[in-house]
Amino acid sequence: MEGGGGKTCIRLFIADKIIIVVHELILIIIPILFAGLTFIYYLRWNKISLLNTPLDMGLKINGKRIFGENKTLKGPIFMSIFTAIYGYIIFGIVQYKQTVYIDQLYSIRAFLLIGASYSLGELPNSFIKRQLGISPGLTPTKGLYYFFFRLFDTFDSLIVVGLLYYLFFHFSKLSIIISILLGGIIHLLTDEFMKSLKLKK
């Protein structure tokens, strides 16, 4: 009996951990994913000209643009606002039980920063590309640069976002790692989707 009871406890423990990880993955992935899809919809519409202002304001370093024409205000603004909206909604639906109480205002502020960081997390990559003479929206097609920038393009923002989720919500390291890997797959799929809509080269 004791052996059977011990196995039951282990199964319940594992099941509880799986549920927690699934809840955390939903809270990590869904707000950013939905905000990204909303952003793609806006790019097809693209009527607010002020948001097309480049983040680098046309400034140059070594005669080359800092970030380029593609990195504009619309990225961080849209991603921060809609990540906060979707995060607030999903947070309420999942009703995630934290060991530390997190109020609604805190979660909104956190999601605003997380959404903005997803967009701003791409800037170091853009800066390096511009300094190497790689045009906005393009990636080297062969050699060491191809593998480096392919990884960088896929995971730069995801790593930044993962760190912020860990700091703000104290999610488990396992959930953060899984979300980054899943996020990489989703990122590649949305890239192909944007290319099919001719929103990305």
Confidence of residue 164 (pLDDT cuts 50, 70, 90): very high
Question: Looking up tokens 């979707």, which residue turns up?
Answer: 86
Where exactly are the structural domains of the chain? 2-196
Q: pLDDT band for position 98 (50/70/90)?
A: low
pLDDT exceeds cutoff 70 at 63: yes
* pLDDT for residue 53 is more than 80: yes
Say yes or no to pLDDT of 6 above 50: yes
pLDDT at 1: 46
Q: Could you give the percent of the chain with pLDDT greater than 70?
A: 92
d(CA 168, CA 161): 10
Rounded Cα distance between 9 and 55, Å, is 54
Q: Which position has the higher pLDDT, 103 or 61?
A: 61
State the pLDDT at residue 4.
62
pLDDT bracket for residue 65 (50, 70, 90): very high
Has residue 64 got a pLDDT over 90?
Answer: yes
* Tokens standing for residue 104: 């609604």
pTM: 0.85
Do 109 and 42 contact (CB within 8 A), yes or no?
no
| pLDDT cut 90: percent of the chain above it | 50
Quick one: pLDDT at residue 14?
Answer: 85
pLDDT greater than 70 at residue 187:
yes
Mark residue 163 as left, alpha or beta (left: phi above 0; alpha: psi -120 to 50; beta: remaining).
alpha
pLDDT range class, residue 60, cuts 50, 70, 90 = very high
In the structure, what pLDDT confidence band is assigned to residue 3 with cuts at 50, 70 and 90? low
Distance between CA 103 and CA 105 in Å, rounded? 6
Contact 6, 46 (CB under 8 A): no
